[in-house]
């Protein structure tokens, strides 16, 4: 049997420990590149390094962990025995290439308050489970920030995805820059840049991202107060001012709104007015205020008028429904053309053409016709079927070409006839029924009224999706009618709404309805 080690074995243990670095990334993010840079960096500084990863199909977009250990050579030429996987509580640096992956590192016990520097890109790459929720399924970044500040020695987080995109580079370069700035490794900045140069791929872009991230990290480290987590939900909303714009009719309406409605609701009313007037015309704005009035009256005196605010939001959405005319209008606007250029990050010297994927059905066509005619056609299945063969198919609309722009532009122009269309009549009937039920409820039970208004959130999407949403909305309103005189009605309607938005198949909603029926 061989004696494995040459060193004396009695007591005299070397107490030095390697520096342990874990990189939490998603497959395809280039975590491997970052690890190679770190190894290169350490070895160029005369350190000994060992890196491992879990390869294969596990890396196809899934959460992946890379692990590196480095230790200064003791000059004896002997190789250290380094771990192939992170030891909970013994990791010095954790790098999260995405915010939730940093969270995952904490869950795995890799982050400890006494020794771990946690570096994370604050951007979100939403997981499938977050994206497929019909409502808002995104996890709250603040929770990760809280845990990170409490459980790490040093927490450094900012949007490195944005930096790498500006630099037309990869996130690894930005993360490497943040690592350099954190000072968690005893190496000078030049050594890091040397490692990037050594690798020799996309050097300039990488160095650009590295530099920008380095600066951003330094700035954050110098900041007197730690930066807040990325804003989400309500914090992101931008409200217009409820103020005159120099149009007589509109300004009169603003005047009236200011007079008739509590100040707390003004921002939402401003947003609502803007939407409905943009959708149709100023008169439509007046109708909007008329529909809003009853709700304001009900909670007159209330400080933060939640009922009026909810009404202001949902009535505007209901009045500015998405019909063919609206879509044609939005797609043909100049502002939209420039927004597309921005979104695809086109350079000034590049030409951009957009192709829309539209699939109009006979339902939409009839909806756009004068109500009488629309109904007349719908009443004739044979005719419907015949026309469907003509109309109902996917169309690739090249909005940037005159041939396609003109028809869209003309459809958008139908706005002036909108009030006479079948779709408009139906939308208005549907809305009135809803508002009547909501205001009736609100008079006796304001929270319930509020929930019935918010329930409108279920009605969204187009064609099939829209029909499904409306179906759920109707089921909810029906249940609400049966709950009306209960003290906890509002609470149950809220639960119904949340359930309806929880999954696409409507399982949660069915369960909640069963639960309610069990005690009704």
Partner 1 sequence: MAERSFAKEVQDLRLGDGQEFRGEGILAITKALLQSGVGYVAGYQGAPISHLMDVLADAQDILGELGVHFENSASEATAAATLAASVMYPIRGAVTFKSPVGTNVASDALANLASGGVTGGALIIVGEDYGEGSSIMQERSHAYAMKSQIWLLDPRPDLESIVRSVELGFELSEASNTPVMLEVRIRACHVRGSFRTRANQRPAMSVKDALEAPRRDTGRIVLPPASYAHEKEKIEKRWPAAVKFIKERGMNEIVPGDIGDVGIILQGGMYNGVLRALQGLGLADVWGTSRIPLYVLNVTYPLVPDEVVDFCRDKRAVLLVEEGQPDFIEQALAKILRQAAVPTPLSGKDLFPMAGEYTAAVMGDAIGAFVRQWIPDMLAPAVRASNAPPALEERHARALAEVVPPRPPGFCTGCPERPIFAAMKLVERELGPHHVAADIGCHLFSIMPPFNIGATTMGYGLGPASASAFNVKAGKRSIAVMGDGGFWHNGLTSGIGNAVFNKSDGVVLIVDNYYSSATGGQDLPSSRASNRSRSTRHPISAAVKGLGVGWVREIDRTYDVGRMRDTLKEALTTEEPGPKVIVASSECMLNRQRRERPLFNKAVKSGQRMVRQRFGVDEDVCTGDHACIRLSGCPSLSVKQTADPLKDDPVAAIDNSCVGCGNCGEVAEAAVLCPSFYRADIIINPSRWDRALAAMRAAVIGFLQRRRAGRRLRLA
Return the residues of window 2-61 that contact partner 1 according to CB under 8 A.
2-5, 7-18, 26-28, 39, 49-61
Q: Smaller CB distance to partner 1: residue 32 or 217?
A: 32
Report helix, strand or coil for 100.
Answer: helix
User: In this chain, which stretch among 187-195, 391-399, 424-432, 480-488 interacts with partner 1, using CB under 8 A?
Assistant: 391-399
Both tokens assigned to 53: 């990863």
337 binds partner 1 (CB under 8 A): yes
- Helix ranges (H only) for 414-445 are 422-444
Sequence length of the chain is 520
Residue 378 lies near partner 1 (rule: CB under 8 A): no
The single residue among 229, 272, 367, 449 that binds partner 1, judged by CB under 8 A, is 272
CA gap 504, 150 in Å, rounded: 37
- 431-460: which residues touch partner 1 (CB under 8 A)? 457, 460
Distance CA 192, CA 196 (A): 7
Helix axis angle for 463-483 and 507-519, nearest 10°, is 10
CA distance 159 to 176: 13
Nearer to partner 1, 330 or 373 (CB): 330
Query: From the CB of 172, what's the least distance to partner 1, in Å?
Result: 14
Q: Does 353 bind partner 1 (CB under 8 A)?
A: yes
For the segment 156-185, give every residue that binds partner 1 (CB under 8 A).
165
For partner 1, the closer CB: 191 or 352 = 352
**Alpha carbon 489 to chain centroid, angstroms:** 31
Q: Which of 412, 442, 448, 453: binder of partner 1 (CB under 8 A)? A: 412
* CB of 344 or CB of 478, closer to partner 1: 344
Task: Please choose, out of 343-351, 417-425, 438-446, 485-493, the segment that lies near partner 1 by the rule CB under 8 A.
Answer: 343-351
Alpha carbons 52 and 324: distance in angstroms, whole number: 55
* Distance set, CA 292 to CA 14, 260, 263, 310, 436 (Å): 77, 10, 14, 10, 12
Q: Please, which residue, 398 or 432, has the CB nearer to partner 1?
A: 398
d(CA 183, CA 205): 23
Instruction: Single out the residue of 129, 130, 135, 237 nearest to residue 457, CA to CA.
Output: 135
- Segment near partner 1 (CB under 8 A); pick from 294-302, 349-357, 445-453, 471-479: 349-357
Query: Which of 353/519 has CB closer to partner 1?
Result: 353
Asked whether 289 and 277 are in contact (CB, 8 A), the reply is no
Structure tokens at 441: 């409820």
Task: Check residue 319 for interaction with partner 1 (CB under 8 A).
Answer: no
Q: Is 501 in the site for partner 1 (CB under 8 A)?
A: yes
Question: What is the closest distance, in whole angstroms, from the C-beta atom of residue 474 to partner 1 in the complex?
Answer: 16
Question: Looking only at residues 204 through 263 of this chain, which bind partner 1 when binding is defined by CB under 8 A?
Answer: 231-233, 236-241, 245, 247, 250
């Amino acid at each position: 049997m061989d004696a494995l080690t040459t060193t004396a074995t009695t007591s005299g243990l070397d107490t030095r420990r390697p520096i342990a670095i874990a990189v939490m990334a998603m497959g395809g993010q280039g975590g491997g590149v970052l690890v190679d840079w770190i190894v290169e960096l350490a070895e160029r500084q005369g350190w000994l390094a060992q890196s491992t990863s879990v390869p294969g199909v596990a890396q196809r977009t899934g959460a992946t962990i890379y692990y590196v250990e480095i230790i200064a050579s003791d000059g004896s030429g002997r190789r250290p025995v380094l771990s192939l996987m992170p030891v909970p509580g013994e990791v010095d640096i954790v790098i999260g290439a995405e915010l939730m992956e940093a969270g995952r590192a904490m869950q795995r016990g890799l982050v400890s308050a006494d020794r771990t520097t946690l570096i994370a890109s604050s951007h979100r790459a939403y997981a499938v489970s977050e994206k497929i929720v019909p409502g808002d399924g995104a996890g709250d970044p603040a929770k990760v920030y809280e845990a990170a500040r409490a459980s790490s020695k040093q927490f450094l987080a900012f949007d490195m995805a944005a930096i790498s995109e500006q630099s037309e580079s990869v996130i690894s370069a930005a993360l490497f820059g943040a690592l350099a700035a954190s000072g968690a490794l005893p190496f000078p900045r030049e050594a890091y840049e040397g490692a990037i140069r050594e690798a020799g791929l996309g050097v300039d872009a990488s160095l650009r991202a590295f530099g920008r991230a380095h600066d951003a990290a330094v700035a954050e480290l110098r900041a007197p107060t730690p930066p807040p987590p990325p804003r989400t939900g309500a914090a992101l909303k931008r409200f217009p001012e409820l103020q005159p714009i120099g149009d007589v009719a509109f300004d009169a309406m603003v005047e009236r709104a200011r007079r008739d409605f509590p100040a707390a609701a003004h921002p939402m009313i401003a947003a609502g007015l803007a939407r409905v007037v943009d959708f149709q015309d100023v008169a439509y704005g007046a109708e909007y205020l008329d529909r809003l009035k009853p709700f304001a009256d009900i909670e007159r005196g209330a400080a933060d008028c939640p009922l009026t605010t909810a009404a202001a939001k949902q009535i505007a959405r209901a009045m500015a429904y998405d019909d063919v005319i609206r879509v044609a209008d939005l797609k043909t606007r100049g502002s939209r053309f420039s927004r597309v250029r921005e979104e695809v990050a086109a350079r000034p010297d590049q030409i951009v053409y957009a192709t829309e994927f539209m699939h109009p059905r006979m339902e939409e066509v009839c909806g756009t016709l004068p109500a009488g005619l629309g109904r007349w056609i719908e009443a004739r299945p044979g005719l419907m079927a015949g026309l469907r063969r003509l109309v109902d198919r996917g169309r690739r609309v090249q909005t940037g070409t005159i041939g396609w722009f003109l028809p869209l532009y003309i459809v958008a122009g139908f706005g002036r006839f909108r009030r006479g269309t079948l779709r408009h009549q139906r939308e208005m009937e549907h809305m009135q029924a809803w508002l009547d039920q909501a205001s009736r409820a609100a008079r006796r039970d304001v929270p319930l009224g509020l929930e019935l208004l918010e329930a409108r959130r279920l009605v969204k999407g187009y064609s099939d999706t829209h029909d499904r949403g409306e179906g759920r909305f109707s089921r909810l309103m029906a249940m609400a009618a049966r709950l009306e005189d209960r003290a906890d009605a509002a609470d149950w309607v809220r639960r119904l709404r949340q359930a309806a938005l929880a999954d696409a198949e409507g399982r949660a909603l069915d369960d909640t309805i069963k639960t309610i029926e069990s005690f009704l």
